[in-house]
């Protein structure tokens, strides 16, 4: 697929089938992520690929995070919500968790490290699309929880940027309107 076409036709695909894509396809997605631009070449990315039972273990963490602060009676009353949280990772056969491991070099700005990993995620999403896979980048409160950080064995300075849910698309989302360039770009000549 031509690059500009991939950029313009890629959509967040929230519904995928249960068939697991071949490992070599996921490795191609990850390889694209590895080539993201990165100031100081610190390569601050760390990716975790969850398939099969690992998704169930992740679901338990989603459920624990959702239940935080609830009394036993509230947990009982919210059992459906807790079960939905537990099943989130089962929405796709492959999940890639993307994390930032920032350099401790004082010349390196943490925001640049985060941007490098986000660029890698975009490379991954475009590559997945070009390979005929459906993918969506999901974040939210659970992604930033200390319990999630612990699940992935991330250190204090490391940050989880979210999850890529990947599979074969069950739906092809329609194009959404974009704001015109004129509304978002200022040209400065002086």
Known binding-site residue numbers for FMN: 10-12, 39, 137-139
User: Phi and psi at residue 68, in whole multiples of 5°?
Assistant: -55, 135
Residue 172 has pLDDT above 90, yes or no: no
How, if at all, do strands 159-167 and 94-100 pair? antiparallel
pLDDT at 35: 97
- Three-class DSSP category at 48: strand
What residue segments make up the domains of the chain, in order of their start? 16-55+91-170
Give the residue numbers of the binding site.
Answer: 10-12, 39, 137-139
Write down the pLDDT at residue 54. 98
| CB 59 within 8 Å of CB 53 | no
Architecture of domain 16-55+91-170: 3-Layer(aba) Sandwich (3.40)
**CA gap 51, 56 in Å, rounded:** 9
Mean pLDDT of the chain: 96
pLDDT of residue 52: 96
Q: Give residue-wise pLDDT tens across range 100-149.
A: 999 999 999 999 999 999 999 999 999 999 999 999 999 999 999 999 99
The pLDDT tens digits of the residues spanning 16-50 come to 999 999 999 999 999 999 999 999 999 999 999 99
β-pairing, 94-100 vs 134-138, is unpaired
Say what the pLDDT of residue 1 is: 83
């Amino acid at each position: 697929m031509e690059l500009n076409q991939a950029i313009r036709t890629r959509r967040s695909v929230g519904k995928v089938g249960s068939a697991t894509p071949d490992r070599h396809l996921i490795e191609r997605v990850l390889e694209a992520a590895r080539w993201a631009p990165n100031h100081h070449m610190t390569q601050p990315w760390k990716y975790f690929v969850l398939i099969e039972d690992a998704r169930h273990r992740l679901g338990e963490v989603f459920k624990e995070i959702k239940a935080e602060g609830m009394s036993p009676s509230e947990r009982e009353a919210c059992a459906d919500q807790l079960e939905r949280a537990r099943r989130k990772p089962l929405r796709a056969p492959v999940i890639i968790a993307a994390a930032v491991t920032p350099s401790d070099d004082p010349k390196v700005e943490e925001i640049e490290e985060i941007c490098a990993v986000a660029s890698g995620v975009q490379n991954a999403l475009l590559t997945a699309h070009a390979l005929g896979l459906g993918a969506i980048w999901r974040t939210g409160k659970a992604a930033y929880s200390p319990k999630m950080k612990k699940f992935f064995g991330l250190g204090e300075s490391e940050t989880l940027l979210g999850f890529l849910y990947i599979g074969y698309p069950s739906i092809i989302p329609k194009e959404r309107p974009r704001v015109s360039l004129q509304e978002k770009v200022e040209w400065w000549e002086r």
